[in-house]
Amino acid sequence: MSGIIKNYAGIEISLNNVSQLFSWEILSQWLPEFIFGFLLLITLRFFRHCLVLPGIMFLTVVSFYLFLGITGISLDEARGMGLLMEPIQQNTSLPALTVDTLKNADLSLVFNYLPKMFSIILLGVIGLLLNISGIEIALQKDIALNHELKITGIANILSGLMGGGLTSYVSLSRSVLNHRLGASSRVVGWFLSGFCALALFGGMSILSLLPEVLIGGLTLFLGLNFLVEWLYDGWWNLSKSDYFLVLLIVVSIGFWGLLQGIIVGFIVAMILFVIKSSRLSIIKNSSSLFHSSSHVQRSSLETKIIKKHGESLYILELQGWLFFGTANQLFNTIRNRLYDGEQPSIKFVLLDFHMVNGLDSSALINFIKIKQLLKSYSVNFILTSLTIKDQEKLDKQVGLQDDFIHLVEEKNIGLAWCEEKLLEEYYPIHKTCQLLETQLSNYFPPSVDIPKLISYLKPFKLLPGEFLFSQGQLNLGMYFLESGQLSVIKEIAPDKTKCLRTYKSETIIGEMGFYSQSNHSASVIADEHSSVYFFSSHAFKRMEREEPKLASAFHKFIVKLLIERVQYREQDMQNLLS
């Protein structure tokens, strides 16, 4: 807009000479075009038919020449009065690009315009990306963005080599309008190219017959339309911060220029991005061992002890990008939990980085503060799922060699480590190997004959790496793990397995399949020397015939065990959903 007004007013627009624009001599030079552009804007906002704009242009030309005919003003007189453009000297031949041409080029002029060239390129790329996104939403179609970028770049390069000087890209409004009118094929582009070629090679003289008010008014209409979309429609469609940014860019461009306005907008946009990002929660979920547990299956007694003291572990699952703002949020969260006297004191803080996208150097100062804070409270600091890059960065700047800092590969391993530490403190005999008879006596009433029950079981030993059963085998019974450790291995692809669960002593394996008589869905392998008792389906049927009361007590024991496991799984699920 400022460019077309400057062209008609003949003065450079600035804060110092704004008043000159409204002197009658200068006002008369640009006011008619402004009024025409403004009326065109109002009309097209209320009437969106495709023939409205061509109709207005046709009526404007007809009315103009009727005015000239009635007043008796000739074409030359009209040009002298500034009502028509001067005849354009058309030259369709392009000068040959030779070494002499390049030598005679004014390179200083090129360098002077480099900032504006780069700003135009930047605006073109941003405009293309925004318009493509708008077209996808309006037409509900996927558009190949890379293809559009390549085509737009090639078209602008060819245009420049052929003497074109305007940077262009796909138009949102015209593309949507063409599609709604049913003109969605490539024929539209070929027709448009044909008309442009006709004007270039044979029709430039027609432009000198068009009224100045029409040409200037159309140009001002485009500028006014952009201002209305940005400043008026944006008030209703944009957030207040985004609208403030658009308003700042428009004002900056008006006062200082295009490039300066883009730089101001870019700087403010980065500041707003940092502010908004720092307000996003870096903590995806917070929990404790009361709500969560590792994949290690323990005895009922050990599980109850862990749940009782589970609040002493503070688990924080992190997400997103860690920089100064979000890392400071993390530090405040940990500090507030430590200072909260209404909750049980914590002995462990576990940070899971599984969903963290990256760690910025600006966040390291807050990790130093977290380390110092936890050290002063004698709290163990567990870091899980750190990438090698982030681990090296933390080790170099923060220091991860202290005894209270523990690095583990994944969250589950960290939870299991914390569980072991709690059992060492509150149940130190948990590693003591007890006979199966002693273990079962803790779960059955005194009236149950435990030795009689064990007589139906078959004991055997497993060496490290030896399979208890394999995936796909028929389930023939359940197993009591007296001592040792077993892992459940699931084959998820050829030559690829995953550890689903680990069983400690005083646990039962295969109780579900024992009743369902289904095939094993995973394999179980011994991690260390293990002592196992096998209770086959045939032995159980024999117990039901020979000792029905004992079989009934065993049924109750399994039902109680399954209910406990379901309750713990339900707690874990509720914690995940919350």
Q: Which of 409, 431, 453 is the last residue of a domain?
A: 431
**Same-domain check for residues 500 and 517:** yes
Do 358 and 216 reside in the same domain of the chain? no
The domain that holds 358 is classified in CATH as 3.30.750.24
Give me the pLDDT at residue 574, please. Answer: 67
Q: What is the pLDDT of residues 377-410, one digit of tens each?
A: 999 999 999 999 999 989 988 888 899 999 999 9
DSSP 294-344: -SEE--HHHHHHHHHTGGGEEEEEEEEEE-HHHHHHHHHHHHHHHH-TTSP
pLDDT of residue 575: 60
Of 204, 221, 254, which residue sits at a domain end? 204
Q: Which of 308, 299, 331, 305 is nearest to 318 (CA)?
A: 331
Examine the domain organization and report whether 538 and 412 are in the same domain: no
Residues 397, 302 share a domain: yes
Mean pLDDT value across residues 138-150: 78
Give the model confidence (pLDDT) of 154-189 as tens digits.
888 877 776 665 666 676 666 765 665 556 667 767
> What single-letter DSSP state applies at residue 289?
T
pLDDT value of residue 165: 57
| pLDDT score for 208 | 74
The confidence score (pLDDT) of residue 91 equals 55
Q: What is the pLDDT of residue 172?
A: 66
Q: What pLDDT score does 378 carry? A: 93
The one-character DSSP state at 143 is: -
Better pLDDT: 316 or 221: 316
Weakest-pLDDT range from 278-287, 295-304, 439-448, 550-559:
278-287
CA distance linking residue 545 with residue 342, whole number of Å: 56
Average pLDDT over residues 275-281: 75
Count of CB atoms within 10 A of residue 271's CB?
A: 11
Which CATH number is 526's domain given? 2.60.120.10
Among 406, 298, 290, residue whose Cα is nearest residue 350: 406
Does 372 share its domain with 400?
yes
Domain-embedded: residue 22:
yes
What own/partner pairs with CB < 8 Å and gap ≥ 24 does 287-290 have?
Answer: 287/315, 287/317, 287/575, 288/312, 288/313, 288/314, 288/315, 289/313, 289/315, 289/415, 289/418, 289/419, 289/422, 290/571
On whether both 440 and 337 belong to a single domain, the answer is no
Check whether residue 64 and residue 212 sit in a common domain. yes
Q: Is residue 567 part of a domain?
A: yes
Is 414 a domain residue?
yes
Give the pLDDT confidence score for residue 367 in this predicted structure: 92
Question: Which of 546, 515, 531, 539 is closest to 456 using CA atoms?
Answer: 539
Q: Domain check: are 445 and 550 in the same one?
A: yes
pLDDT value of residue 352? 95
Q: Which domain, by its residues, includes 297? A: 283-431
pTM (two decimals): 0.63
Confidence of residue 88 (pLDDT cuts 50, 70, 90): low
* Residue 153 located in a structural domain: no
Render pLDDT for 477-536 as a digit per residue (tens, 0 to 9).
899 999 999 999 998 888 888 888 999 998 999 888 777 778 888 999 999 999 999 999
Co-location of 216 and 351 in the same domain: no
Query: Which one has a higher pLDDT value, 122 or 300?
Result: 300
Alpha helix (H) residue ranges in 140-211: 145-161, 172-180, 187-201, 204-207
- Domain total in the chain: 4
Q: Do 360 and 447 reside in the same domain of the chain?
A: no
Residue at 117 is within a domain: no
- 338 and 400, same domain (yes or no): yes
Which of 113-117, 344-348, 399-403, 470-474 bottoms out in mean pLDDT, i.e. has the lowest? Answer: 113-117
CB count in 10 Å sphere of residue 21: 16
- When pLDDT is averaged across residues 48-53 and rounded to a whole number, the result is 72
Residue 517 belongs to a domain: yes
For residues 73-98, give the mean pLDDT: 69
Residues 183 and 322 in one domain: no
Residue 276 lies in a domain: no
Does residue 277 lie within any of the structural domains?
no
